[in-house]
Amino acid sequence: MTPLAFCAKLVVKIYQYGISPILPGTCRYTPTCSAYALEAIERYGALKGSRLALGRFLRCHPWGGSGYDPVPDKCDSHSCGCDSKNG
């Protein structure tokens, strides 16, 4: 794991352990945005992973998609979003 990836994951973990438990809300997707972020960073590194996670985060609102939305197996600029599957 690169230092950058470590830092990125640290931010997510702090959110998961420190902030998320005191918030009532939850995610529209499974895996949750934070779990998605961790997996994305793990698999695609800090930069690409963070970009994927940010994209997911920005989809996670009342007018966005919902349901099962895993980290994509192959990530190029066109296949990152998985909205189409969720209809």
DSSP string, 9-27: HHHHHHIIIIIGGG-----
Residue 3 interacting with other proteins (CB under 8 A): no
Q: How far apart, in whole angstroms, are the C-alpha atoms of residue 37 and residue 61?
A: 16
Residue of 45, 51, 55, 70 that binds other proteins (CB under 8 A):
70
Residue 54 interacting with other proteins (CB under 8 A): no
Collapse the DSSP code of 29 into the 3-class scheme (helix H, G, I; strand E, B; otherwise coil) and give the result.
strand
Q: Which residues bind other proteins (CB under 8 A)?
A: 1, 6, 9-10, 13-14, 16-30, 32-33, 35, 57-58, 60-62, 64, 66-68, 70, 85-86
